[in-house]
Amino acid sequence: MKDLSLICLVGATGTGKTAAALALATALGGGVVNFDSRQVYAGLGVVTAQPTPAERAVCPHALYGYLAIDTPVRAGAFAGEILARARAYREQGLAPILVGGTGLYLKSLVDGLAPIPDIDPGIREGVINECRALGSQVLHGRLQLVDPDYAAKIHPNDPQRICRALEVFTATGRTLTWWHGQTRRPAGLRVLKIGLAADLPALTPRLARRIELMLDAGALEEVRLAFEQCPDRRAPGFSGIGCPELLGVLLDGLGLEQARREWLHSTRAYAKRQLTWFHKDGEIAWHEAGDVAGIVARAAAFLESDS
RNA sequence: GCCGGGGUAGCUCAGUCGGUAGAGCAGGGGACUGAAAAUCCCCGUGUCGGCAGUUCAACUCUGUCCCCCGGCA
């Protein structure tokens, strides 16, 4: 069976991935699949910068705005979903173009993920509650006893990773270190990663402008309606940058100016984390965002070498 | 002009009994295996407003000048 060829567009938030994806899809006859963790939520299309209806009309789009705000995304399941959509596109004769900013999700898909079974929610909650009650340092101490290797890799102040390691051990009787050793890179994939280059100083004014465009496009009203549907600020969908700030305006009387500032600050910090992640990935071919011709040429050559 | 209160990191400020200084925020760097737009880690030399004096030693005490903020004229 022929390998599945995936063109993956990565880059920090606001670097122009959406536009580049449309250009690629048009030039190559492709379909777009989202691998961004926040653009999956319905009713938050503006704040999460999902492609607009007009943009989606240009070519097929998958996995945008299809989840309720209170539904969590799971990396493993989501990666499987992305692959299924990519295969479906190929069967239709379309080149799958994966677009997103969530480095972990792309990595899960390309490099594989440890085959850990789903963890019983009760166990998970128990660990989290204990962590809240005792503090992450205490649980880190426990983790040192069962999985010293992993405990050494993570910091005692990192509740999220400590809880994950403990819930996996409690539920499966195996350590996370052992599970990680079971990771296999999926066979049958050919992957081209194209990165849209950006540095923070150049990106910052664009991010500020984008916030204004989102506000003009009705971001505040969008979040107001979304909160009416799902009145829980801690719902996974509301962790998207911009939501806490706008909910602050709507619910806490936060000034719009202050909200803008905080929104930009979080966006910038996020972009920086993304750059750190992607720069470390040696498989990425970097292009200037405006270099549409170069991007298309590279992708075309990649598909060419497929046959 | 007089009386208070101040001038210390980009910003807001702390600094004990004289021993040349440290927090928060901002900023920078990094980690990352099912919460990832999440979670977490690391990074602080700056004419201590200027000048002079006392002292082995001054951000710290004294004098003087400059600037800012209140109050009174």
pLDDT tens digit sequence for A145-198:
999 999 999 999 999 999 999 999 999 999 999 999 999 999 999 999 999 999
Closest CA to A180 of A154, A141, A145, A157: A154
Which pLDDT score, from 0 to 100, does residue A1 have? 59
In whole angstroms, what is the distance from residue A144 CA to residue A154 CA? Answer: 10
Give the span between the Cα atoms of A42 and A66, in whole angstroms.
5
- The spacing between the Cα labelled CA in A245 and the C1' in B16, in angstroms, equals 42
Burial bucket for residue A115 (CB in 10 Å: 0-12, 13-18, 19+): exposed
Nearest nucleotide relative to A74: CA against C1': B34
Q: In this structure, what DSSP letter does residue A65 have?
A: S
Nucleotide whose C1' lies closest to the alpha carbon of residue A243? B37
- Asked whether A8 and A108 are in contact (CB, 8 A), the reply is no
Residues contacting residue A100 through CB under 8 Å, at least 6 positions apart:
A9, A10, A17, A34, A35, A36, A37, A39, A106
**Cα separation, A154 vs A145, whole angstroms:** 14
Phi, psi (degrees; rounded to nearest 5) at A4: -90, 120
Contacts of A145 (CB under 8 A, 6+ apart): none
Instruction: Measuring from the CA of residue A75 to each C1' atom, give the nucleotide at the shortest distance.
Output: B34
The CB-based long-range contact list for A256-263 (8 Å cut-off, 24+ gap) reads: A260/A211, A260/A215, A263/A211
Integer distance in angstroms from CA A13 to C1' B54? Answer: 61
Looking at the DSSP assignment, which residues form a beta bridge with residue A284?
A193
Contacts of A203 (CB under 8 A, 6+ apart): A12, A14, A15, A268, A271
Q: Evaluate if the CB of A137 falls below 7 Å from strand B.
A: no
pLDDT for A236 equals: 97
User: For residue A165, with 0-12 CB atoms within 10 Å meaning exposed, 13-18 middle and 19 or more buried, which class applies?
Assistant: buried
Q: Which stretches in chain A have pLDDT values below 50?
A: none
Q: Could you read off the pLDDT of A18-33 as tens digits, one per residue?
A: 999 999 999 999 999 9
Determine if strand B comes within 7 Å of the CB of A51.
Answer: no
- Give this complex's ipTM: 0.94
Number of H helices, E strands in chain A: 14, 6
Is residue A23 within 8 Å of residue A296, measured between CB atoms?
yes
